[in-house]
Structures are given as structure tokens and as C-alpha cells.
Amino acid sequence: MKDIMIATSNPNKVREYREMLEKLGYRIHDLSEIEHEDPEENGKTFAENALIKARSVWNHTGMMAIADDSGLSIDHLKGQPGIHSARYLAGHDYTYKNKMILKRLKNAEDRGARFTCAIALIDELGEHVFEGVMEGHISREIRGTNGFGYDPIFIPEGYEQTSAELTPDQKNTISHRGQATRKLLAYLNGEEQ
Ligand code: ITT
């Protein structure tokens, strides 16, 4: 059994990594198992923020960990919420955040958007970042109860359902996190990228 520490405080991310990696023989650990304080995510890109989170665990514990920085970038909102996806409309739940986004896009013709995920890994060989992007557009209404966060308003390219209407396996097969995870696995298996 191979162990991977997922350096995230977001239980939904932990669940998705479990769904993808446990069936491949990995044992998933999370930050609740160690003494750790969340670092300030003051990077300018998903990759920089993922590295900040991975370095924090590496420096505090010397434990190999992967960190995930991800978010939804909406063309009509000039790329927002982007790297601020978790902090966007802070203090409100996602039903409210999703409603507000639909309101802001009410008359928008361009509904293009994408989810990005950067996974940072630090090991004895150095720092590595693996990225995945899921292209799509913003729906006209909130639909679906699977997934988390902005999934109920995001329709992946080639689909009619929102990503909250897809099964976990369907989402993981096409998602930003799924794509980044497959690149991580290729690295861990010593394969070329
Ligand atoms: P950690 O920093 O502890 O990992 P976080 O939730 O604060 O947890 P981020 O800063 O990376 O993580 O913010 C990611 C946000 O982007 C997340 O809270 C969701 O709002 C959104 N997001 C990321 N991936 C998503 C997905 O697959 N489906 C829906 N929303 C997603």
C-alpha cells in the first residue's frame, strides 16, 4: 500500500482523491492527522498557491505531500473568481455564491468558463506541478446535487448536464482534478509526461 498525504482542508477534495486513488492501491491521508496551520495563499497562480501549500507541509513535517489549488475562471467576469474561488463572496454558502454568479451572467452571451487544478508535489527530487483544465460554460440555472462548490452551475464541454449531475466517476474522468491526478500518477509511476 502506498501512502499519499493530501495537504488540503477541503473534505470534498479529499473525497475525490479517495475516489480516484484508493482503487489504485493508494492510502489517502489528510491534514487532520498532523499538526499543521494553513499557510497564506498569496501566490498569483494556481501553481504558486499549490506550491505554497505543499511547501508548508514539507517544511513542517518532512512528509511528502501533494497540495491542490483549484478554481473556476469565468470569461465574462474577466477570469474571476479564479484563484480566489474559495474566498469569493466569503461568508456565504455555495447556493448563494452560485445564485450570484448566475445573476451576474444574466444577460451574458459569453458564458465560457473553466475549472483549473494544480497539484504540487515535493519530494527528494524537488518541486513538481501537474495541471488539469476542464473547459465548459456556465448554466442558466442551478442543477444537481453531486460534487461540490461551483459544480451545480458548470456544464463541461460536450455535456448537457452540470458537473453536479454527473456521477463521481464521470466527473473524475473528465475533471481538472482527474486530469492533474493522472499526470501525477504518471510521475509517481516513473513514466514520461
Ligand atoms: P485547501 O486550500 O485547503 O485545499 P480550499 O477549498 O480553500 O481548500 P482552494 O483555495 O484551492 O481550496 O479553492 C478551491 C475552490 O474552488 C473550492 O473551494 C471550490 O469553491 C472551487 N472548486 C475547486 N474544484 C472544484 C470542483 O471540482 N468542483 C466545484 N468547485 C470547485
**Per-block average pLDDT, block size 10, for the chain (193 residues)?**
88 95 90 85 96 91 88 98 96 97 96 98 92 98 98 98 98 98 92 62
14, 27 Cβ separation under 8 angstroms:
no
Residues in a beta bridge with 115:
72, 134
63, 34 Cβ separation under 8 angstroms:
yes
114, 73 Cβ separation under 8 angstroms:
yes
Ligand 1 midpoint to CA 52 (Å): 15
132, 172 Cβ separation under 8 angstroms:
no
User: Which residue shows C-alpha cell 495537504?
Assistant: 7
pLDDT at 58: 87
Query: What is the C-alpha to C-alpha distance for residues 139 and 96, in angstroms, rounded to an integer?
Result: 15
Mutational test site, ligand 1, from 5, 6, 9, 13, max ligand atoms within 8 Å of CB = 13
Instruction: Reply yes or no: is the peptide bond before residue 11 cis, omega within 30 of 0.
Output: no
The response to whether residue 71 sits with its C-beta less than 6 Å from ligand 1 reads yes
Q: What architecture is the 2-188 domain classified under in CATH?
A: Alpha-Beta Complex (3.90)
Ligand 1 midpoint to CA 61 (Å): 23
Which atom of ligand 1 sits closest to the CA of residue 175? 27
Take atom 2 of ligand 1 and give the residue whose Cα is closest.
Answer: 8
Q: Which residues are catalytic?
A: 69
The response to whether residue 85 sits with its C-beta less than 6 Å from ligand 1 reads yes
pLDDT at 192: 56
